[in-house]
Structure 1
Amino acid sequence: MVCTYCLKYPMVADKDSPLSKGAGGEGNFRKESLTFHSKSKLHVKCQEKYESENRPNYAGPLKKMSLTLGENVCKQIGCLFNTSFYVAKQGQSFESFQGLCELQEKNGVDLGFKYKNDKACATFINNIATNEVKAISQELKHARFLSEGVLAAIDEAVETVGVTQEILVSKLVGCNFDGAAVMMGKKSVYCVAHNLELGVLDAVKTVPYLRQFDDTVKGVFKYYFYSPKKRRELKAISEIIEEDYAYYSGVQQIRWLASRHRSLAALEKHYAVTIYHLEHVGQGTGEDSARSKGLLRELKTEKFVKFLHFMIDVTSVLKHLSECYQRDELFISDVVRKLELASWELSELKENGPDTGEFYSKFVQSYSDGVFKCGKESAQSVSLTNKGANLIGTFTTFLGEVVQYISNRFGSLQDPPYADFQVFDHTLWPVDLNELRSFGNNQVAKLTDHFKDCLSEDDTNGTSAEWLDLKLRLNRQRSSPPQTVYANLLMLNPDNLQHILALVNIMITLSPCTAVCERAFSSMNKLKTTYRSQMKQTTLQNLMRIKQMQQNVSTFDANEAINIWLCSAKTCRQVAGKSDDVKTVTNAPDAAAEPTDLPELPQLEDSDSDSD
């Protein structure tokens, strides 16, 4: 048997004690010997040294609470804050907080005796959100440059996170909006995801039939989404003919291209099952029968089926582009390059003919003499009407219009200064060193002149000289993505690249997309439901801030929020004990003396050494 405290610190422990050396066989020590050792001065010093090294690194009021009431109380409060964070992150009702606490206690988690109701949950969430505002404020104040989005462009919203007009004027390098002309200015950039949608809508208007086509697709989704009975019948037919179960979700008025592609692909996949069910319903009478006949009349036309497969091929290309434009790590330098790649794919489809598309070529191979083979392994047959529609010219014209309208929408990003940021994409640099030496010099000079109001005099004069050093440094890192390379550079901040990294910082700061704002709107719609009609504005703001936090439950650290909670109390916080034996901690920031109470017996473990 050995004392783990004394064994860990042999220079402090009593070298003559058998418990320090590891003796006693299989634990044949008398209780009096163990008690005497636990009260010895050298053992107490070893124990205090061990506890001081392994005590959590608390600060402020939380440290005082830890020293006054013990670490167990801090863990209890931390568990309550973590549970509150989970409630807010999942968008649950505050009333679920008490049930979650009861569940954890049933599983053996000690949560104490207080602060386990919905009001305490609201208070904890408010302190977590306050701490998030504090963190955002500090990040914005220490950021070298700022780029504002749709919501943050409002002065009142900016001031809530501690950014004054002076800071905004001195650091603002760009604003990103969703496309309204009244919001555009000298430093404004259209949201690239919205711009892509608007460009496609402009091209759709050039083909009158596409409006009717879109209405038919939405009609099918609405027909099944709002009727559980029709969905059950559709599932039954799928099982009878051994096809995949068809499920049609709700279609909103405005959707991203990625969602539109998924809806078209779903209709193509379940086309045969849908036709069979509509034919079955159409045999009856009533309103449903009339609606099914109207949908069936359009769905079985050769023109609709051809447009369906053609539009899947087109939206497949645009879907990937739209998803790239909605990523948070999108650089302003990536926009034009990804747009050119999508334009090349659409132009290739135009030049080679729609028959070269994956889905349209599949239709051509499965269609013969007015009979369309579809479903699993082309096992189902559907006779199409209005045969002989020649749509190749319409498809070719539409592809050209899509490329043209999208290019027009992105005209501002294809011109200086934003197009000049492409020179920072080191994966596109010339391989020859002689060409690399002069590559991008003019673009860097233009960028320096354009953003000179936001740069210091040293940065303005030093960017050209350090541009060559940056190219030589990154020339060997072509296999790494620009996001990773420049993130590492900004963290290292080498002395010979400080001025050119100012332009890199601007490139990373400029936000070309407002998709994060759209996700915030979606979060707000999920939080502010009809069942929470009395929710206060401050509560909604707190929940949305927590919802947008990058931390999840496993990475969330509640210490700073607990400090805010302790300091915000008008009197003392009752953090431990029952109602008849309440312990309190004040909100004073100074720390109390460390406790000197020791356990009655030392911490013991079996030793491999034999007794003397």
Structure 2
Amino acid sequence: MTCNNCVIKNEISLTSKYFCLKATGDGGTERTETPHCWTREQWQGWIERNPWLYIKDGCLGCKPCRDAKTLLLSGKSPGMNFASEWVNGAVGSTCKRTLAKKIYKHRDSASHQRSTEIAQQKQKEVLPKAILEINAALVQETTSSFRTAYAVAKERLAFKKMPPLMILQELNGAVIGNVHRSDHSCAEIVNHIATEMKKVVVKNIKEKNSRISLTVDESTVFGLAYMIVFIRCDVTGDGDVENIFLDLVELKEGKDASSIYDALRQSLKTAGLDDDFLQKNLISIAADGASVLTGCKSGVITRFKSEFPKLKSIHCMAHRLELAVHDSIKSLTACNHFEIFISKLYSLFNQSHKLARLLKEVADELNVQILRIGEIFTIRWVASSFNTVRAVWKNYPALARHFQIESENTGNSDKVRKKFLGLLKYLSNASFVHDLACMKDVLRELQSLSLKLQKRETTIVQSYHHIKQTTEILNAMKSQGGKSAAKAQQGLSAGVFKGVNIVGDRAGKINRQQFYQAVVDNLTARMPADDLICILQPLEKSSWPEKREDLVLFGKTEVRTLAKLLGEPGREAVEEFRNYKLQGTLEGGTLKKLIIASNTYLATSAECERGFSAVNDTDRKTRNKLRAKSLSSLLFVDLNGPPLEIFNPAPYVMSWVKAGHRLSKSWVPGRKGKEAKPRPLLSVF
């Protein structure tokens, strides 16, 4: 069947409703959408004369009116209105003449002419300025909404807190618009702000041509697998290196190396970090040592190295410290006995609220501040183990008194009384006091080292110096012990420690010198000075020799190697380094780039651990489930955004309006829902 006026150049067009299916001669068809009463040729003629027309489901619409519907509404003249039919593409007719009259009438209308002016302004990039001049009041109201949504993200509140916050501002006299009051509006605004912020960050990195390091980690949050990505780079071009949260990606395809690698590459590409930029500027990637990330055959880092051969991989030093501590504990049987006893204390008071309450009552009687006894030598940082040992040290008199009371309590069964009596004997034994003091001294130093390694500003060379210093301190403490050991020895000599009578030694206490040496050996084995540290170390002034004759040629080979690794001219780097050493002047840009790059190498992946702590605090069980995009946007604003008091929402409002979103007072909402009948109690207040 052929439709009227559709036989063109021997090509047969078949029409169904408002589509023309044109046979192309090669056996295929080409579908062209046309108004109901027009042929394809007639439609082509109309859009050539009126390019502002568009078609939707066989009906006509106006592009400028559609785009201008949410923009510059305060610039309308009295009586001007955008016809919803032309905005939504719903103008139609079965009569050609009637449809033509509608087009002519709309073309000559004031609203269409005004929308055409807006479209021209938008093309000339003067729309934001026009919005500021014409709609200053509306923009200010939208700014208030943006600032409120930003506060919700920074304070890690639920999106549903947006409506009451807006009502509160309105009650306090603030001028608030009709739109952007709901939780959905809050989510959209936060997503927009995070997207624009990420664009600014990536654009700045590319303009500064900053070298970057990646750190990634994967974890499970409420049953969902996520990958978190941070980058470390110079953000100002003057050597101000900082860690930046980049993205949080849900691992929908699985947690294997291939899925993580594909998700990471897609995340970098979406952020604007393309392969060409990464090939020149990606210098290292740090991970916690999980096999899926660091596997030598098919791990994520191995896959990255196959594409970026100059990439350096770094095993997180903070995690290596944890491995060294665990190796030391396992090497001594007495340490295992100590660990088992502390674990019993944790289970005893963590599983029984009654015993925890009784212990607190005893501590109050003795004027002792009770500290929570946690687990020891678990997956947490070594600082957590130190806090547990310190809690036992502080709670020692309260524990002894509590165990004595429970062992003599006739209300308890014979089995329970014997259990507490055994705990009391173990606690008041001189060997346990000795072990507790020895463990506290060692863990205090290791805790200090762990916290230094986890600092954001710590470089990889500084990390090595901290480790070396700690091993020297532990070596010096082998013979005489630390502060806690001295206090314990003083009490043991008197037979009373913290008011508790001490009984004789038992076999199997920790050999202090052997334990200290085990820690030193494992630290040295787990964290040696690898090739990267040796290359970067000459750039640190603290590693320079004191004698001038030794300083002349010091670091020459390492600086040349680093320059070659980073694609910088080696001869210029050596000459500038020589002037830097001997004359104290940092001239030229090559050496400065090397110094900034040395600070960019990541020492740990602790930033990822902090990031997942923020994830757990943001995506709590008490709030609705968040999509990965919304959660990533919240984290980007929370971790990277400026404080609320200096946040300037104006640029984000401009980009919001330019993207075609509504202002906060761009329309009057419809009829409100029925309000609930007030409680009779409210009349009392």
The answer, yes or no, to whether TM exceeds 0.5 is yes
* 8 Å contact from structure 1 (residues 238, 246) kept in 2: no
Give 1:276-295 correspondences, 5 Å limit. Answer: 276-282=401-407, 283=409, 284-285=411-412, 292=420, 295=423
Partner of 1:353: 480
DSSP-derived class of the 2:665 partner: strand
Answering whether residue 197 of structure 2 is matched by residue 127 of structure 1, we say no
Q: d(CA) in 2 for partners of 1:82 and 1:465?
A: 51
Q: 1:467-486 to 2 correspondence within 5 Å?
A: 467-472=577-582, 474=584
Indicate whether 1:158 and 2:158 are aligned.
Answer: no
In structure 2, the residue matched to 1:382 is 500
Counterpart of 1:415 in structure 2 is 530
**d(CA) in 2 for partners of 1:544 and 1:293?**
51
In structure 2, C-alpha distance between the alignment counterparts of 1:138 and 1:292, rounded to whole Å: 65
1:333–1:424 CA contact under 8 A, matched in 2: no
Closer, same or farther: CA 149–256 of 1 in aligned 2, 3 Å: same
Cα RMSD of the aligned pairs, angstroms, is 3.0
SS where residue 100 of structure 1 aligns? Answer: helix
- Which secondary structure state, in structure 1, belongs to the residue aligned with residue 280 of structure 2? helix
CA 1:504–1:390 in 2, change beyond 3 Å: closer, same or farther? Answer: same
Determine the structure 2 residue equivalent to 1:448: 563
Given the superposition, is the C-alpha separation of residues 579 and 527 from structure 1 closer, same or farther in structure 2, using an over 3 Å criterion?
closer
Asked if residue 573 in structure 1 is aligned to residue 663 in structure 2, the reply is yes
Q: How far apart, in 1, do the equivalents of 2:381 and 2:346 lie?
A: 16
Q: Matches of residues 422-437 of structure 1 in structure 2 within 5 Å? A: 422-437=537-552
Work out the CA distance in 2 between the residues paired with 1:109 and 1:292. Answer: 64
Question: Deviation at 1:358?
Answer: 0.2
Question: 1:419 Cα shift?
Answer: 1.9
Matched residues in 1 for 2:211 and 2:416: separation? 59
Q: Which residue of 2 aligns with 1:396?
A: 513
306, 309, 315: which is aligned to 1:190? 315
Q: Determine if the alignment matches structure 1 residue 81 to structure 2 residue 81.
A: no
What code does the residue aligned with 1:95 have? K
Which letter does structure 2 place at the counterpart of 1:301? N
2:210 match: 144
User: Do the aligned partners of 2:560 and 2:571 also contact (CA within 8 Å) in 1?
Assistant: no
**Take 1:523 and 1:306, find their aligned partners in 2: how far apart are those partners?**
39
Q: Of 599, 609, 618, which aligns to 1:527?
A: 618
1:345-395 per-position Cα deviation (integer Å, ceiling 9, x unaligned) = 000011x333xx1001100101246x4321xxxxxx223445255747x22
Q: Does 1:554 align with 2:645?
A: yes
* Conserved? CA contact 2:334–2:508, under 8 Å: no
Aligned ranges 1:310-325 → 2 under 5 Å: 310-325=438-453
Q: Output the CA distance in 1 between the equivalents of 2:323 and 2:181.
A: 50
- The CA deviation at 1:129 is 1.5
Q: Distance in 1 between matches of 2:654 and 2:351?
A: 49
Give the match's secondary structure for 2:644.
Answer: coil
Q: SS at 1:92's partner residue?
A: coil
Distance 1:550 1:274, change over 3 A: farther
TM-score (norm: length of structure 1): 0.72
Matched-pair contact (CA < 8 Å) for 1:331–1:511 = yes
Equivalent position amino acid for 1:455 in 2: G
Please state whether the residue corresponding to 1:176 is helix, strand or coil.
strand
CA shift in 2, pair 1:64/1:273, >3 Å? farther
CA contact (8 A) 1:353 1:396 kept: no
The residue number in structure 2 matching 1:302 is 430
Mapped contact 1:197–1:257 kept (Cα < 8 A): yes
Quick one: distance in 2 between partners of 1:226 and 1:83? 42
Give 3-state SS (helix, strand or coil) of 1:367's partner: helix
Q: Displacement, 1:249?
A: 5.7
Equivalent-residue separation in structure 2 for 1:408 and 1:332 (angstroms): 17
Q: Does the 8 Å contact 1:66/1:73 carry over to 2?
A: no
Distance 2:474 2:594 in 1: 34
CA contact (8 A) 2:371 2:395 kept: yes
In structure 2, relative to structure 1, the CA distance for the partners of 1:229 and 1:63 (3 Å cut) is farther
Residues of 1 paired with 2:157 and 2:377: CA distance? Answer: 24
Which of 606, 616, 634 in structure 2 is aligned with 1:515? 606
Q: Does 1:176 align with 2:286?
A: yes
Separation in structure 2 between the aligned mates of residue 328 and residue 102 of structure 1, nearest angstrom:
39
CA distance in 2, matches of 1:115, 1:290: 66
Q: 1:360 to 1:94 in 2, by over 3 A?
A: same
Q: Show the counterpart of 1:607.
A: none
In structure 1, which of residues 203, 206, 219 is the aligned counterpart of residue 331 of structure 2?
A: 206
Measure the CA separation in 1 of the matches of 2:605 and 2:515: 28
Percent of matched pairs sharing the same residue: 24
Q: Tell me, yes or no, if structure 1 residue 373 matches structure 2 residue 501.
A: no
Matched, 1:500 2:618: no
Contact 2:474 2:516 in 1 (8 A): yes
Structure with the larger strand share: 2
- Count residues in correspondence: 484
State the secondary structure of the residue aligned to 2:471.
Answer: helix
- The 3-state SS of whatever aligns with 2:640 is coil
Q: Distance between the aligned counterparts of 1:290 and 1:102, measured in 2? A: 62
Q: 2:496 is aligned with what amino acid?
A: F
CA contact (8 A) 1:203 1:402 kept: yes
In 2, Cα distance between equivalents of 1:297 and 1:60: 83
Alpha-carbon distance change, 82 to 398 in structure 1, aligned in 2, over 3 angstroms: same
Q: Quick one: higher RCO (CA 8 Å, sep 6+), 1 or 2?
A: 1
